[in-house]
Amino acid sequence: MHRSTALASLRPWLASLLALTLPCFAISCSSEDGGTGGSGNAGASGNEGGAGGAGAGGAGEGGAGGEGGGSDGAPPVPEDLVHYVTGNALDADVTPTGPALLLMGGSAEVIESLEWWMPFAAGGDVVVLRTSGEDGYNDFLYSDIGGCDSVETMLVTSRELANDPYVAFRVRNAEAVFLAGGDQATYLNNWMGTAVEDALMEAWGRGAALGGTSAGCAVLGEFMFAAYVDTVYSSEALEDPYNEFMTLERGFLPLPPLAGVITDQHFAARDRMGRLATFLGRLIQDGWSTAPIGLGVDEYTAVAIDPEGVGRVYGEGAAYLMKTSTPPTSCEPGVPFAMSGLTVHKLVAGDTVALPAGTTDVPGQALAVENEALIPADPY
């Protein structure tokens, strides 16, 4: 599949138009290629917050930041921070029981996986990070899932905000942090190498539960498809593994269960097997890893990773564990990608995988890439 530069340049404009015209309760922020990804339950795009409350706000309040620090030692809220708090605005003094990790493939939330995830917060505070949208997760997590002291959504839309003491304090002291769907390029551009990154790792070190859906899931692996230019289709990746859309990144969050792992989302629905194979080939060719692992998660599906590193699949779809035993046979600019020695394990609800080793009892299927095509042609 070819696409023109003109079409690619229209995508941000079209996404902005949709965000303004579609009802906020009906869509959430999409993954990197402008689809619907996110949640009918909780995701919400649309207008940013209104004029603001003081401090962190009370239950259900939001908008631009206000004055003063909190009695819990929180620094003052920055004036340009759009945030929404539901529940107790003060920091809960509890100890989370993780660390645990939740990888969701996008579209509607997988309720049973969130019901598994929330108890690791031990009744403490949940922070939702995003760069667009509103407070769609607040009532959903606080009331529908329940079991937490508060939910605070923060739109961390700049590196200045990502380095702000208040934002870092809330993330560092959270018992659970969820990265909403959106645009992973904005997450990496605004958050990587900032106090937010450090605070996320400090929360993990305290035993917090971390998680993400769609674009939020995309940035949790050691290696990431960054989407700095736009999405990349499998056909484009197979045609030229170094095309302009193949922007890979590393070094954001060194989460032990995902060492050596690159994730992908909306997997079968958007036919991403070919591009995931190409991601692995690029990681080997570029010297980033000798044996990378790919984990593609379907929509309506989640992989819940416990403190021991065991991931269990929840939901309606599958998680595809891709491993390789050999380097690519062809991986260079302007030349079609070719690779053999790939193995794909299709994990469905109840199946498990030990991470980061990638071991599972689920049998694997051989996969190869030749002449810009997958063998077998339908590996799902």
pLDDT of residue 35: 38
For residues 101-110, one letter each, b for 16 or more C-beta atoms within 10 angstroms of the residue's C-beta and e for the rest, the string is: bbbbbbbbbb
**Judging by beta carbons within 10 Å of its beta carbon (0-12, 13-18, 19+), is residue 349 exposed, middle or buried?**
middle
Quote the CA–CA distance of 315 and 335 in Å, as a whole number: 38
| Residue 7 in this model has a pLDDT that exceeds 60 | no
Q: What number is the average pLDDT over the span 41-56?
A: 34
In a domain, 41, yes or no: yes
Structural domain contains residue 363: yes
pLDDT at position 15, please? 40
Look at residue 1 and tell me if it is in a domain.
no
Q: Tell me which H or E stretch contains 198.
A: helix 195-206
Q: Is the peptide bond before 256 cis (omega within 30 degrees of 0)?
A: no
Residue 9, H or E segment = helix 5-21
Confidence of residue 3 (pLDDT cuts 50, 70, 90): low
Q: What is the mean pLDDT of residues 56-76?
A: 60
What's the number of domains the chain is made of? 1
pLDDT band at 373 (very low <50, low <70, confident <90, very high): very high
Task: State the pLDDT confidence band at 331, using cuts at 50, 70 and 90.
Answer: very high
Residue 70: which CATH number? 3.40.50.880
Is 49 among the domain residues? Answer: yes
- The range of the structural domain enclosing residue 73 comes to 7-375
Of residues 178, 185, 244, the one with CA closest to residue 213? 178
Q: Residue 244 — very low, low, confident or very high, per pLDDT cuts 50/70/90? A: very high
At residue 325, the pLDDT reads: 83
| Residue 142 in domain | yes
The reported pTM is 0.85
Please give the single-letter amino acid code of residue 266: H
Average pLDDT over residues 293-306: 99
Residues 6+ apart with CB under 8 A from 70: 55, 56, 89, 90, 91
| 318-330 per-position pLDDT tens digit | 999 999 989 999 9
pLDDT digits 0-9 by tens, 11-35: 444 344 333 333 332 223 334 544 3
Report the C-alpha dihedral over residues 206, 212, 215, 218, rounded to 10 degrees.
60
The reported pLDDT for the residue numbered 72 is 77
Please tell me the distance from the alpha carbon of residue 176 to that of residue 109, in angstroms, as a whole number.
16
What is the residue-averaged pLDDT of the chain? 87
User: Is 250 contained in some domain?
Assistant: yes
- Distance CA(152)–CA(172), nearest Å, equals 13
Query: Would the pLDDT of 201 be above 80?
Result: yes
> Exposure pattern of 178-214 as b/e (b: 16+ CB <10 Å)?
bbbbbbbbbbbebbbebbbbebbbbbbeebbbbbbbb
How is residue 245 annotated by DSSP?
T
- Examine residue 380 and state whether it is found in any structural domain, yes or no: no
The number of residues making up the chain comes to 380
pLDDT number for residue 64 = 56
Q: 334 in a domain, yes or no?
A: yes
